[in-house]
Amino acid sequence: MLWHLRQLMAAKGMFQTTDLMEPLHERGIELSRQMVHRIVTKPPQRINTDLLAALCDILDCTPSDLLELHVDQQRQAPAVGDHGPGIGDIRPIRARVRRPDGIDE
């Protein structure tokens, strides 16, 4: 995921993380300076929808402007009819149980 908050802030003339404190407060979002710094400088692992809505309102953008999904690797889907081994193709392996030395049977 690519997080474009800092770029959108700069486009609105907001160059410091603390520039978000008052606009967020006006919208009922109370965050510490450390948390605001964290959401500006690092992509969040999860985000509250109220915070997302407030950021979009402040920056006059949409969630897709803030978040860009970026797939590093795509898994290739199996070809039609090629589903790999089925349950009928898998066979159990015989296990050998050994007793520890010194124990009589």
Task: Identify the domain containing residue 17 by its residue range.
Answer: 2-66
* Closest to 54 measured CA to CA, from 74, 26, 14: 26
Helix residue spans in 1-105 (DSSP H):
5-11, 21-26, 33-41, 49-59, 63-66
Please write the tens of the pLDDT for every residue from 63-81: 999 998 877 666 665 555 5
First to last CA, the chain: 60
**Domain tally, the chain:** 1
Neighbours of 35 (CB within 10 A): 14
Tokens 């907001």 — which residue?
Answer: 14
Whether residue 35 is contained in a domain is answered as yes
CB 66 within 8 A of CB 56: yes
User: Which pair of structure tokens corresponds to residue 86?
Assistant: 């089925």
Whether residue 82 is contained in a domain is answered as no
CATH of the domain at 20: 1.10.260
Whether residue 38 is contained in a domain is answered as yes
Whether residue 33 is contained in a domain is answered as yes
User: What pTM does this model have?
Assistant: 0.65
Whether residue 60 is contained in a domain is answered as yes
Please write the tens of the pLDDT for every residue from 14-65: 999 999 999 999 999 999 999 999 999 999 999 999 999 999 999 999 999 9
